Structure 1
Amino acid sequence: MANTAKFDRRQVLERATRLFWQKGFHATSTRDLQQAIDMRPGSIYAAFGSKSGLFREVLHFYTEEMSERLQQCLAEEGAILDGLRTFLRQILLQDGDNAPSELCLLAKSLSELDEGEAELLSETRALLAATEENFRCHLQSAIAAGELSAQVDPGLLARQLQVEMIGLRSYLRATGDRDAVRELADNLFAPLQPGSQ
């Protein structure tokens, strides 16, 4: 009979995500991983191939979790822009006390990885691009629904949203000014809505 995994993969990925997000890829040792996910090196290798393999899966897990949270915010708010604002508030402000780092895991990884980890670097860039495309699709829907001016370029705005998220997280880390971050997040779309001057 074939061997079956004797661990909860989602729980392992949640724990590994917190560890990598807190310490970074390079600073996370095999011993750190063993303790965090409660697996021996041989089991980690069998399940994920290597530390890099586990990290790659963590990057995808993180991205999927963010996408699911965005979908939940959109479903709860009804209006697309309201859902995007709620998502921004959650990511920027509500997660602050519980997240292992104020920075986005993908952005943090991009700043750490070098050309020696070309595959992981490429994977991280691709996931950021996929996140931006996800924003673009929702913003296109907001234009179609009349929530945004028809003159808005959804691709450009999606890129701006991505930059704002990364930048506001860094700003919050640097200043701790939650009120300023809340105001900036809430007003991101205001100038682009129909009827705005």
Structure 2
Amino acid sequence: MTDTRAKRGRPRAFDRAEALTAATRLFWERGYEATSIGELTEAMGIRPGSLYAAFGDKKSLFKEAVHCYGRSPVGAFMGVALEEEPTARAAFTRILREAAVIYPDPAHPAGCLTISAATNVTLQDAEVEAFLRNLRNGNLGVFEARLRVAQQAGELSDAANPRALAAYFAAVIQGMSQRARDGATAAELTETAELALVAWPAARH
């Protein structure tokens, strides 16, 4: 006869990585504010007590979900392009063209989680909005740093403005994310990407 006394009261085991992936997808689809604890636990297949024990509160879960997203191929493509491409122009060309395909891909929620997940947050959740804003501004800083290196290498003319160019491409990428959420296709976003690349300044002569 099996002794079940040791199991009595023990919380049901679950795959933490799978649960986090489910939470990430739900936050990505609905945003932080519109996603309730009840919806999260249902999607993750766990009880509220298990969520709090494993992830902390909703804000902590969201922050971990964003970091999970950032490590995924869908969330990391910009950093990968900047690291792998030999020139800044090749890197930004790849980023824009890949964003045009990734953001409207029906295999996952449209757009970028980091860009869209904190819309319409309440005052008590301003920390979440600031968290995502800091991540986006961090990406902007990475863009600018790469462009300054390109300018020093002669890839951009001395007249080029790396700060303004970084801000421009960040604005285009954020706009592409929103357009994808509004139903824009990969073909439409590719047209946007190609138009944006026309703004690339001349190299140093």
- Whether contact under 8 Å (1:106, 1:124) holds in the other structure is yes
1:68 is matched with which residue: 44, 67, 76? Answer: 76
Match of 2:155 in 1: 147
Aligned to 2:36: 29
Q: Normalization by structure 2: what TM-score?
A: 0.77
2:164 paired with 1:156: yes
Amino acid at match of 1:131: N
In the alignment, structure 1 residue 85 sits paired with structure 2 residue 75 = no
Q: How does 1:126-145 map to 2 (within 5 A)?
A: 126-145=134-153
Distance 1:44 1:108 in 2: 24
Q: Using the alignment, how far apart are the partners of 1:140 and 1:43 within structure 2?
A: 47
Higher relative contact order (Cα pairs below 8 Å, separated by 6+ residues): 2
Q: Say if 2:115 is the partner of 1:107.
A: yes
Count of aligned pairs between the two proteins:
191
Q: Which amino acid aligns with 2:176?
A: L
1:188 alignment partner, one of 189, 196, 205: 196
Other-structure match for 2:5:
none
Give the equivalent residue in structure 2 for 1:116.
124
Q: 1: CA distance between counterparts of 2:171 and 2:146? A: 16
Distance in structure 2 (CA, Å) of the matches to 1:31 and 1:175: 28
The runs of 5 or more residues in structure 2 that have no matched partner are 1-12
Q: Structure 1: where are the runs of 5+ without partners?
A: 1-5
1:66-122 per-residue CA deviation (whole Å, 9 max, x = no partner) reads: 673223224544322212221222222234224543332233233221322121122
Q: C-alpha displacement at 1:37, in angstroms?
A: 2.4
**Is the contact made by 1:73 and 1:83 (CA closer than 8 Å) also made in structure 2?**
yes
Q: What secondary structure does 2:81 align onto?
A: helix
CA RMSD of superposed structures (Å): 2.7
Which one has the bigger helix percentage? Answer: 1
SS of 1:117's partner is helix
Aligned-partner Cα distance in 1 for 2:79–2:48: 36
TM-score (norm 1): 0.79
Cα deviation for residue 14 of structure 1 reads 2.6
Answer with 1 or 2: which has the greater Rg. Answer: 2
Larger CA deviation: 170-179 vs 119-128:
170-179
Is the CA contact (8 Å cut-off) linking 2:118 and 2:128 kept in structure 1? Answer: no
* Residues 168 and 181, structure 1, Cα contact 8 Å, conserved in 2: yes
SS at match of 1:17: helix
**1:123 corresponds to which letter in structure 2?**
F
1:24/1:186 Cα in 2 relative to 1: closer, same or farther (>3 Å)? same
Which residue in 2 is equivalent to 1:20?
27
CA gap of 1:25–1:172, structure 2 versus 1, over 3 A, is: closer
